[in-house]
Structure 1
Amino acid sequence: MGFTLFWIPATILAALLQTARNLTQRSLTELIGVIGATQVRFLFGLPFALLFLVLVCVASERLPPAISLTTLSVTTWGAVTQIAATALMLAAMRERSFAVTTAYTKTEPVQVAVFGALLLGDALSLWKFIAIVVATAGVVVVSWKPGEKLSRAGMRPAVLGIGAGAFFALSAIGYRGAIQMLPEGGFVMRATTILALGLALQTTILMVYMLAANRPALVSILRNWRPSIVAGLLGAAASQFWFIGFSLTTAANVRTLGLLEVPLAQIASRRIFSEGTSRRELLGMAMIVGGVGLLLMLAI
């Protein structure tokens, strides 16, 4: 009972750490490319996740819960979709500002509702439909520039960012399901176990790919190990708190509060990258946050 609302500070910490991690990964993208920066999150995050798991086991005097084949499958689903989401997000950040790309990816909660309606048969009320329209319109407002003709190149960053949001939504559903499937352990133990398993799967998948198809990027990662370690630590810590949130409440609740990342990205964009944001882009981001917030207020 005492930990019922612990998902709130955990999610706030996750949003803060993820913003810092995204900033670090964006800088690395220019040095080692999209795939390399994506692997940094997993390869250098895995040792920290394993350390977290050891500390939790020592503190609780218990071993991690057993992993069934079903749990492994669902965790793999979460891991693979998160790889795709991260790669798409970093690709979008190369073409649009940090703050605007973050806003694109934060259409994720809306897409959770759409996936639920299409795949699970969840009811979509009039107010939920209105919320989706408002959030989607916000994405259009952010991505469209006055006088800019619609073209494939102009729409590319929006498609990449929204695609990242879709895969992040699928990933959140997968990880939440995997945590719930574990047969025993407290919420911290279950969250940390799935985090370590997910990062191990992601590191292995990308390592095999890079050894086969992109060895220069792997060499670049090792050469840039100092900033990579920072990105790995921030990524593992952010995921630890996201997963703790998933272990205590629905992914919808966690991702709604996680929208704090949008104004955080705006502040970071101005202070660190000196990226200006127009009133139109601010209006669009406000519409995204408002639409997503309305949608999930109705769902809670």
Structure 2
Amino acid sequence: MIWVAATLIAAIAQTGRNAAQAGLTGRVGTIGATAVRFLFGLPFAALFLLILSPVAEIPSLGLRAVGFTALGAAAQIAATALMLLTMRGQGFGIATALMKTEPVTLAIFGALALSEPLGPARMAAIALATTGVVLASGARWSRISLAPVLTGVTSGALFGVSAIGFRGALLSLPEGGYFIHALTVLVLTLALQSFAMLVWLGATAPGTLRAIFAEWRISLAAGALGAFASLFWFIGFALTPAANVRTLALVEVVFAQVVSGRIFHETTQRAQLIGIVLIVAGVAWLLAVAAT
């Protein structure tokens, strides 16, 4: 169950990266904070691939793999921008929970695009964990405007599309080790995303580019954590359907609650604790289904 360990590592690293990006949003703007994870993540991923290249054969990238990677890269840029926009209007834990409705749509996308299994037990486990996410958000839904709910849910759906793109790219590669496959797709992904963000910011907001590099210390931290998290997401995608990975990743909501209390001083309510229990139960059910 290597994908389980990889997913948990990725979820922890992503929580740290999201917190770093949320802190950058007020200084460099939503688009600037979105670009940080790509521009400052690419050097770390590329250097690691260069180090491994003498001892691991780098797989060739066909048109299908490049196409799926481009789909995932574009969807991830849009999803990250909407995620940061949601964080500006809601608490960190609430924004994370809104985006974690992703596994439901992801399971459907996976069944349609990649013919991955979509049985009743698997969907029930995903639905249970997602219900836990809604409770764990701690949101009083009557007091939340429609706009942040829509941006958060749309962000989650786009993250689902990106996961399908990356899983499709990994499945399109020739035979080889899952680790070098994941790292190769990651470098291509970050290269495409960095190029797109440089062109966009250079043409529309050169001041934002200067602001990003002025905040290089926190940008490096966010980039390194982002590259590290993405590598382990991709390892998970290489080994099991993306919906399994993203459902297990709902434990990130638990991590987000810790971050919310420790850093953003948000309190945890009883309903949130019940939600956490449901998340754990749903994840455990999914793991039991996946193991059969």
**Which residue of the partner structure matches residue 234 of structure 1?**
225
Within a 5 Å distance, the mapping from 1:53-202 to structure 2 comes to 53-60=49-56, 62=57, 64-116=58-110, 142=137, 145=140, 148=142, 154-202=145-193
Asked whether the 8 Å contact 2:65–2:169 carries over to 1, the reply is yes
What's the C-alpha RMSD, in Å, of the aligned pairs?
2.7
Q: Secondary structure at the match of 2:256?
A: helix
Deviation per CA, 1:64-89: give whole Å up to 9, x if none: 22111221111000100111111111
Distance in 2 between the 1:128 and 1:189 partners? Answer: 29
The verdict on how the C-alpha distance between 1:215 and 1:286 changes in structure 2, with shifts beyond 3 A counting, is farther
Name whichever of 245-254 and 172-181 sits farther off: 245-254
**Which residue of the partner structure matches residue 23 of structure 1?**
19
The verdict on how the C-alpha distance between 1:209 and 1:108 changes in structure 2, with shifts beyond 3 A counting, is same
Distance in 2 between the 1:125 and 1:184 partners? Answer: 28
The verdict on how the C-alpha distance between 1:165 and 1:295 changes in structure 2, with shifts beyond 3 A counting, is farther
Shift of 1:113: 2.4
Shift of 1:294: 5.2
Structure 1, gaps ≥5 residues long: none
> What is the percentage of aligned positions where both structures have the same residue?
49
**Which residue of the partner structure matches residue 50 of structure 1?**
46
Deviation per CA, 1:31-77: give whole Å up to 9, x if none: 111100010000000000101111221332x3x22111221111000
Shift of 1:200: 0.2
Asked whether the 8 Å contact 1:191–1:247 carries over to 2, the reply is yes
Distance in 1 between the 2:44 and 2:249 partners? Answer: 22
**Which residue of the partner structure matches residue 9 of structure 1?**
5
Deviation per CA, 1:171-228: give whole Å up to 9, x if none: 1111011011112431111111000000000011111111111222111101111110
Distance in 1 between the 2:243 and 2:153 partners? Answer: 17
Distance in 2 between the 1:229 and 1:169 partners? Answer: 26
TM-score scaled by length of structure 1 = 0.85
Q: Secondary structure at the match of 1:94?
A: helix
AA partner of residue 80 (structure 2): T
Name whichever of 208-217 and 83-92 sits farther off: 208-217
TM-score scaled by length of structure 2 = 0.88
**Which residue of the partner structure matches residue 244 of structure 2?**
253
AA partner of residue 100 (structure 2): K
